[in-house]
Each structure stands twice: as structure tokens, then as C-alpha cells.
Amino acid sequence: MKVVLLGTAAGGGFPQWNCACALCAAARDGRLPSRTQDCAAVTGNGRDWWLLNASPDLRTQLAATRTLWPGPGPRETPVRGVLLTDAEADHVTGLTELRGAAGLKIYAAPPVHGALAPARAALDRYAPWEWADSLADGGFVLAGGLVVTAHPVGVKVPKYVPDQASKPPGPWVTAYRVEDLATGGVLVYAPCVGAWSPVLDGLCAEADCVLLDGTFFAADEMGTAVRSGAGQAAMGHLPVTGPQGSLAALARHPGARRIYTHLNNTNPLLDPASPARARVAAYGAEILPDGTELVV
């Protein structure tokens, strides 16, 4: 199984357009590498590619990745569809870049399908797509020899969804386990995780590679708004460090390659020379640039 990290930043990218923090300033003047918004691509045979989320930067990401270029026919594409982890704007708005591509299949949890109903109707007017339930019993098999199961890891409702208070808790956020049937390699993709859980722990225990939510390095990274556990949970992202952070949990799974993605523009992990980066490396976790190709 091949995986391409098309983008590794959280919503807004890095640098973020309206942020003048030291990290964003360093990216603007070339001292730190820029990053596009989180998205990945996966294939089991090198011909049939599936996108993991669809970021607003998708057109640029596809253009920068030769294996995802169209051809040989004028409208042929190796992209077969998209697996959505949630309905957040920075994970779904890239679907509009794919409009007009016939025969795509979009997997998502039922609440995500509901939230996207107006967009689905509009996109289907360009070319009909198949919209499938990612949480269907038994999982699903993708063209190219990949078998996938979706696992609920959060209940955060996107801000644009009306009447959020009346929405019942549900599997708004999922992680994906992707297995290569030919080799047995297992990838876990979980860019949005509100809290560590036994489910996530079990997924990491059997994974060869984990792409995990690294949005915030610390719970107080964005100030008092997220200092409390409740505030952090409301943001939908557990921090890397701290007693309930993901770094200590990942340390229990040294057999997997552990990679942080979805990095917020405030995250010191964006700086390779930072103590934060050294700390994560000491635990065996990685921060990789956009465009990195992995074999799982």
C-alpha cells in the first residue's frame, strides 16, 4: 500500500492567511516550510487512488503529485473517490474541485451525509456520484485491493450545521483502518480525535502506520479558550502532550510508524529546531512534510 501525504496542516494551512504569529511569519519569509491543509491519498495497486478527506487545497495538491495526474485520456483520472472523516469545512470543501468527475464514490458517516445534503445535490448535477455509508457493517472494499473499516472517535458537530444544540450525539468524526489485502499492511488515519479511547488504542495496536491528529502540541496552546479539558474537547482535538495527550498513548505502540498530521499554525512542532520537535522525536513519532510518500 502506498500513501501520499498531500497536506499536513490544520484548517487554514500554514502560514494561515490572517495570522502574524512568529511561526507564520517564519513560513512567509521562507525560514519554515509552508504546509497545505490535511489530506492524504492511498492506493493498493498504484492505479486506483482514494483520497482521505478533500481539503480546500486539493487542486494544488493533486497538481503537485505526479501519480495523481489525469490521463491517458483527456478526462481520465486515477482518483476513484473520497473517504471523509467528518464534515468540517477544511475536510470537505475540496469536493467542489472534483465536480464533473463521473463515477466517484464518497464514503462518510450518516451525520456527515446529512450535513452535506445541499452540497451533494449541487455536485450531483455536474456528474452523479455514489454516496456510501462508511459505518456499514463489515466495512467496505476499495478498488485496488484495500479493505476499510470506519471507527467513531468523536462527536463534534461543525459550526456551520444549524441547530447544533438539538443535534443528538452521533458518530460525526471517524478514524479509518485501511488494510492491504495483498500484503496485510495496515494504515490508521485519524486526523481529528477528541479524546483517546480503547477503540483508538486497539487500532494503533494492530497498525503498521498511524497518521494521527497533532493539531495542538499543548492544551493551552491557543490561550484560555482551550485550557480546560472541556475547552479542548470542544475544539475536537486532543493535545499531543499532557496527562491525557496522544504522545504518551502512542508510546505504547512502538511497532507502528507514528506520524502526526493536521498541525495547527500555532503548533511548535512546525519548527524542526524546536524543543517540541525533539521531544516528539524522542518518543519515536515523526513530523513529515507535504508530499511525503510512504509504503505500508
Q: What pLDDT is recorded for position 229?
A: 45
pTM to 2 decimals? 0.95
What does the pLDDT look like over 271-285, one tens digit per residue? 999 999 999 999 999
C-alpha to C-alpha distance for 140 and 260, rounded to whole angstroms:
26
Confidence of residue 219 (pLDDT cuts 50, 70, 90): confident
Q: Where exactly are the structural domains of the chain? A: 2-295
What does the pLDDT look like over 48-99, one tens digit per residue? 999 999 999 999 999 999 999 999 999 999 999 999 999 999 999 999 999 9
The fold for domain 2-295 equals: Metallo-beta-lactamase; Chain A (3.60.15)
Lateral strand order in the sheet of 39-43: 130-133, 105-108, 79-83, 49-52, 39-43, 2-7, 293-295
What does the pLDDT look like over 244-274, one tens digit per residue? 899 999 999 999 999 999 999 999 999 999 9
In sequence order, the β-bridge partners of residue 148 are 140, 178
What does the pLDDT look like over 2-23, one tens digit per residue? 999 999 999 999 999 999 999 9
Say whether the peptide bond before residue 289 is cis (omega within 30 degrees of 0). Answer: no
Residue 258 sits at the vertex; the CA angle it makes with 256 and 260, to the nearest 5 degrees, is 160
Residue 152 pLDDT more than 90? yes
Residue 44 pLDDT more than 90? yes
Assess contact for 235 and 226: CB atoms under 8 A.
Answer: yes
H/E segment holding residue 175: strand 173-180
Q: Return the HEC string of 75-109.
A: CCCCEEEEECCCCCHHHHHHHHHHCCCCCCEEEEC
C-alpha to C-alpha distance for 264 and 10, rounded to whole angstroms:
5
